[in-house]
A and B are shown apart, each in its own frame.
Chain A
Amino acid sequence: MYRILFILFIFPLTLFGQENSIPISVSFFNESTAIPFTRFFTAPVHPGIQIGTAFVYSEKEHSRLFQTVNASYFYHNYLAQGIALHSEFGYEYRHSSGLAPSALLGLGYMHTFATTEEFTFKNGRYEKKTDRGNSRLFPSISFDIGYYLKRDDVRSPKIFIRYQSWAEYPYSPGFIPVMTHINLHLGLQFSI
């Protein structure tokens, strides 16, 4: 467990020194329960926000291999709200036009809470209890298309749309083992 945490969150920090500046990514997203790749935009909107950074492993003229570390929160009305720490390995191809498609494979930890009053069965009866939430593993696969606003600047801000498919596991043991979701992000990446 600690080894996984080290690879996901601590090891990337050792790469900080390689960077002259730190890329920051902020995105707002619409979360939904859905089968991956069957829906794009869904209603009603369940809002979420993600803030993260990225660490570059290798960079060539048109491509880079990187790892992200993100914190995120979503609110799915009537179902759940979740707060997560999440890391992704990604590959980006940067076209000279400024367009930059990426693919990312991620894993993280999520803690979800009910969005409605919860009652816990204890000693033969239901009682109102403070919701301590549920622990989830949070694997994901994402594809995004970005656009670098300054085509010739390697530190250029980038706007992106990201289609993220992810799963919540374990979800409801013996009932619904895994719940799948999609997040549609609209974000900005910039350097500080």
Chain B
Amino acid sequence: MKKYIYLILVAIALAACHKGEDIQPTYYDCQFNFTDSSGWNTHNTLYQSLIDDMTANGVVGVTMSVYQPNTGLWVGASGKADLHNDVDMKPCNISRVGSTVKMFTATTVLKLMEEGKLDLDDKISSYLEGDVIDKIENADQATIRQLLQHSSGIYNYIQNLQFQTASLNDFIKEWQPEELLEYAYNKKAYFEPGEDVRYSNTGYIMLGMLIEKIEGKPFYQVFEEKIFQALGLNMTRFAAKDHIPFGIARGYIDMYSNLQVVESTYYSGWDYFTADGGLISNPYDMNIFFRALMSGQIIQPSTLEMMLTWQTPDETDPNFFPISYGLGIFKIETPQGIAYMHSGDAIGYYANMMFFPDDSTTVVYAVNSNYGKIDQFVSTKEAMEKVIAATKQ
């Protein structure tokens, strides 16, 4: 009897189950526009075993780039880009890199400052109006600098449980900026502007709106013109134009913390149109960007100095490295020294980029799976320590 009940349950489950999308392996073909010498890199085995270890623990796929002045650039991959079609991940494969876009947003705002189009100490309310200012506490007082540094105190809409459940309720919804901001309306600010620092996606949505207001075009078009094209980041784009670009690695989520994953490639519609997420790239392009930024190729050294002006939160997180907030960038104190970094999540994706100023070691890794048990292998302090220990000599 028990067996029959079980068979009926399984039959119902199977009958109502979406099958995976059949995709030709050539869909994931990609290539770099440089001569890849990773195979001859002194640390090739070490780096490869680092990412192989991630996939051996349950991460679906990983791409990574490591730059060191002495050994040059290494790129590698491990695991799968697509489980349904059994396609291996390649080092050039693109994936969603979520909030790492905030460093691009901040860089663009700083470039606008260099062009004399804004002052960092201008209030955001000098540029934006309506509900975004009237209904978000502190928005009338916060400056552009405070939004960049997460010191505005403005409530982070992602923390709103109503948003989180609404997002689950409609996984494939494509959210517009105003719909997301509504989850921050009439919410108490964390503190007075400038008093402390606390991460807020809401502030970065507003910064995207600021870029659009000043430039009169979508902020992601400004990213393209001022950063992507300028640096030749051929594999980098923003999700707004093409939500699921050709060749993107499939994303997977471990929703129930049991290493049983389902595909989530189409589930990140909340960051298609806002400057707090939505970037699609690969670790090669991101490594190029981070090094160019830190070497003064995108913004002037004096502007970079502003970007790297730090504020430390009043409360420390015992589960993470000691951290300070810059303008769209963080400084962490690791056992191997100071690193500048930004990480980012999307649904089924995670990426992290780190730059060590003492020797310019630059490490970027991206994975196409997250949540549940997978997070401990990619985004925790322990996971990052493992990456840093293997890559920072």
On A, residues with C-beta under 8 Å from B are 32-35, 38-39, 42-44, 46, 73, 75-79, 81, 83, 111, 113-121, 124, 126, 128-134, 171-175, 179-180
Q: Is the interface of B mostly helix, strand, loop or mixed?
A: mixed
Bound Cα distance A129, B12 (Å)? 16
A180/B16 in contact, CB under 8 A:
no
Number of B interface residues at 8 Å Cβ cutoff, please give it. 40
Q: Using A35-B161, A75-B16 as known contacts, say yes or no to A117 and B169 having CB atoms under 8 A apart.
A: no
Q: Is the CB of B170 within 8 A of A44?
A: yes
Which B304-341 residues have C-beta < 8 A from chain A?
A: none
Are B171 and A34 in contact, CB atoms less than 8 angstroms apart? Answer: no
- The one of B17, B56, B371 in contact with A124, judged by C-beta atoms closer than 8 angstroms, is B56
Among candidates B9, B12, B257, B261, residue contacting A118 with C-beta atoms closer than 8 Å = B261
Tell which of B9, B161, B258 touches A111, judged by Cβ atoms closer than 8 Å: B9
Do A33 and B18 touch (CB < 8 A)?
Answer: no
Q: Are B18 and A117 in contact (CB under 8 A)?
A: yes
State whether B60 touches A117 (Cβ < 8 A): no
CB distance from B269 to the nearest CB of A (A): 11
Smallest Cβ distance from A85 to chain B, in angstroms?
A: 11
Task: Contact check, A121 vs B18: say whether CB atoms are below 8 A apart.
Answer: no
**Are A34 and B165 also in contact (CB < 8 A) when A78-B267, A116-B262 are?**
yes
Proximity string of chain B (147-190) to chain A, C-beta cutoff 8 Å, 1 when within and 0 when not: 00000000000000110011011111000000000000000000
| Cα distance, A126 to B172, chains bound together (Å) | 24
Find out whether the CB atom of B83 lies under 8 angstroms from the CB atom of A34: no
How many angstroms from the CA of A52 to the CA of B60 in the assembled complex? 43
Are B263's CB and A117's CB within 8 A? yes
B13 pairs with A42, CB closer than 8 A = no
| B18 engages A78 (CB within 8 Å) | yes
Q: Quick check: is B218 within 8 A (CB to CB) of the other chain?
A: no
- Residue contact A118 to B169, C-beta cutoff 8 Å: no
Q: A34-B162, A175-B371, A180-B165 are in contact. Are A131 and B17 (CB under 8 A)?
A: yes
Contact A117 B17 (CB under 8 A): yes
Counting residue pairs across A and B whose Cβ atoms lie within 8 Å, the total is 112
Asked if B255 is at the interface of the complex by the 8 Å CB criterion, the answer is yes
The answer to whether A131 touches B13, judged by C-beta atoms less than 8 angstroms apart, is yes
Q: Which of A34, A43, A172 contacts B256 (CB 8 A)?
A: A172
Given contacts A42-B169, A131-B10, A133-B13, 5 further A-B contacts (CB under 8 A): A33-B166, A79-B168, A113-B17, A115-B18, A133-B9
Within 8 A of A (CB), among B1-15: 9-10, 12-14
Contact A126 B9 (CB under 8 A): no
Identify the 9 closest CB pairs spanning chains A and B, nearest first.
A113-B13, A121-B259, A78-B171, A33-B168, A33-B165, A117-B20, A116-B18, A33-B169, A172-B257
- B80 interface residue, CB < 8 Å from A? yes
A121: which B residues are within 8 A, CB to CB? 58, 259-261
B386 contacts partner chain A, Cβ-Cβ < 8 Å: no
Q: Enumerate chain B residues within 8 angstroms of A111, measured Cβ to Cβ.
A: 9
Chain B residues lying within 8 Å of A172, measured Cβ to Cβ, are: 255-257, 371-372
Tell me the nearest residue of chain B to A76, going by C-beta.
Answer: B169
Cβ contact within 8 Å between A114 and B372 = no
Report yes or no: B261 in contact with A119, Cβ–Cβ below 8 A: yes
B161 neighbours in A (Cβ, 8 Å): 35
Q: Find chain B residues with CB under 8 A from A75 CB.
A: 16
Across the interface, B166 reaches (CB within 8 A) one of A34, A124, A134, namely: A34
Min Cβ gap B84→A in Å is 6
Q: Which of B12, B84, B162 contacts A38 (CB 8 A)?
A: B162
On whether the beta carbons of B260 and A119 are closer than 8 Å, the reply is yes
CB distance from A34 to the nearest CB of B (A): 5
B10 touches A130 (CB 8 A): yes
Known: A38-B162, A120-B260, A171-B256. A81 touches B16 (CB 8 A): yes
B252 contacts chain A at the CB level, 8 A cutoff: yes
A83–B83 contact, CB under 8 A?
no
CA of A124 to CA of B170 in the docked complex: distance in angstroms?
32
Contact A119 B83 (CB under 8 A): yes
- Give the nearest-CB partner of B58 in chain A: A121
Within 8 Å by CB of A35, from B16, B18, B162, lies: B162
Known interface pairs A78-B172, A115-B18; A175-B262 also in contact (CB < 8 Å): no
Tell whether, in the assembled complex, residue A79 and residue B171 are in contact, meaning their CB atoms are under 8 Å apart.
yes
Known: A38-B162, A83-B9. A175 touches B257 (CB 8 A): yes
| Residue from A77, A120, A121 with most neighbouring chain B CB atoms (10 Å) | A121
| A117-B262 contact in complex given A81-B13, A175-B372, A180-B165, C-beta closer than 8 Å | yes
Q: Is the CB of B259 within 8 A of A120?
A: yes
Q: A35-B161, A124-B56 are in contact. Are A134 and B256 (CB under 8 A)?
A: yes
Residues of A within 8 A of B172 (CB): 78
Nearest residue in B to A129 (C-beta to C-beta)?
B260
List of A residues within 8 angstroms of B256 by Cβ: 134, 171-172
Q: Give the distance in Å from the alpha carbon of A171 to the alpha carbon of B371 in the complex.
A: 13
